[in-house]
Amino acid sequence: MTKPHPTAATPVKMPVIGRIGWLRGVLGAALGILLTGLVSWLALRGDPALPWLLAPMGASAVLIFVLPASPLSQPWPVLGGHLIAALAGMLAHAAGGAPWLTAALAVGGAIAAMSLARCLHPPAGGTALITALASPAIAAAGWQFLAAPLALNVVLMLACGIVWNRATGHSYPHHAQPAPAMPSWIGHIEDEDLDAVLEEWDEVLDVSREDLLALLHAVEAKVRARTR
């Protein structure tokens, strides 16, 4: 009888402790925000009108420290996503118009630009709104805003993410597991097979176990149809 494996951890069902436990992400995110905020505050306290820590950094911290294997959490999406989104927001702001129209253009343009640049990062949608609906201080800062506080926040957060994830046993930037060499084979992947592999990988993937099973079985059906 096959020994049952525990259900794989997903973003909505994670253990408390351990290498893939959410407590590791809690500590890492708190430390990342602490250091990013502290260094940014010390660097920008000469200009109290500018925000020294941007709200989207909180959302980025969730991805970087809790889901470091997600494609949305990798360094280029984080850095490129925030900078491109900020630029889209600034352009929308410069175009003028009603605030709701400006906001819509900024977020839509940011998503399009991030997609083209292969750096989609959901928290950057908030960055686009910050620059599109800019406060007087942010509007007055102009292009300087891209360097400080934005790029400063992002680079500090990424540095914390790299150190923390590697110190707690995660590859970050994430590197996919190499696929083993397999002979030609037509069989059936049992649900327990997937659970066993996910347990061996010991990583929280940004996709549900059910979706992974559906994908695997759909691929099996394609292989069987091709080899009949």
Q: What is the pLDDT of residues 35-50, one digit of tens each?
A: 999 999 999 986 778 8
Q: Could you tell me which of 49, 33, 13 has the C-alpha nearest to residue 164? A: 33
Percent of the chain with pLDDT over 90: 63
Helix (H) or strand (E) holding 127: helix 124-132
Predicted pLDDT at 4: 46
Distance between CA atoms of 10 and 73, rounded to whole angstroms? Answer: 15
Q: Which of 2-11, 97-106, 192-201 has the highest mean pLDDT?
A: 97-106
Number of CB atoms found within 10 A of residue 71's CB: 14
Q: Could you tell me which of 93, 39, 32, 109 has the C-alpha nearest to residue 66? A: 32
Query: Considering the entire predicted model, what is its pTM?
Result: 0.83
User: What does residue 206 show for φ and ψ, rounded to 5 degrees?
Assistant: -85, 50
The conformation of residue 13, written as its DSSP 8-state character, comes to B
In DSSP terms, which residues pair with 13 in a beta bridge? 10
